[in-house]
Amino acid sequence: MKVRDVLIQRLGPKFILALMSLGLLGVGGIFCASYAGEEAQPPSDTAAPTSESSAGCCAAGNTTPPTHLVKEMPEGQLKSPYQDSAKVAQEGHQQFMNAGCNGCHGGTGGGGMCPPLDQGVWFFGSSDDTLFRLITLGTDALQKAGFKRLEQGTVQGPMPPMGSAIPTSDDLWKIIAWIRSITPAPTPVRIIPD
């Protein structure tokens, strides 16, 4: 059994991702790339979807876990309640840091061992629905769900499933708003149509 597998088994993937984001594991890049390529595990959160799930899926303040919302909503139905990304960008950046996204994408979203988020390159498309599902499920599960990779970048590593590391759908929508706020205006340099 690999050291990585022992760590995941004993400490759990959320704890390992937190350690990686804090730089406490000297093997962050190697671990993340190999962990990300593994089969996505069912969400470990056991909270039942809230009554606001399907009915108000995309309302500001929704506390449904992202993993539940992705399961409940048909493809194409997820729409951000934060169309004015600047209004919640700072809060979104804080959520980005809390979830440990900075460990791979850099603290300002300019990249690191994973692609930069501030250059307007959308590997799977740029719709709210696609971005929400990509972050929640990771690239492997997203592709298994039928999404096609439309663009290649210099970093080829897969995105790990982060849906269980982000407490609420509202937190994830704020992260997406922050990502949109750091993308070149008025429109991204390269948008791949959905």
| pLDDT tens sequence across 128-155 | 999 999 999 999 999 999 999 887 776 6
189, part of any domain = no
- List, for residues 8-29, the tens digit of each pLDDT value: 455 555 544 444 444 433 333 3
Residue scoring higher pLDDT (108 or 1): 108
Residue 107 is part of which domain span? 55-182
8 A C-beta contact, residue 125 and residue 100: no
Give bridge partners of residue 121 from the DSSP assignment.
Answer: 190
Find out whether the peptide bond into 49 is cis, omega within 30 degrees of 0.
no
Question: For the domain that residue 61 is a member of, what is the CATH number?
Answer: 1.10.760.10
| pTM of this structure | 0.68
pLDDT above 70: residue 192: no
pLDDT band at 101 (very low <50, low <70, confident <90, very high): very high
Give me the number of domains the chain comprises. Answer: 1
Residue 36 lies in a domain: no
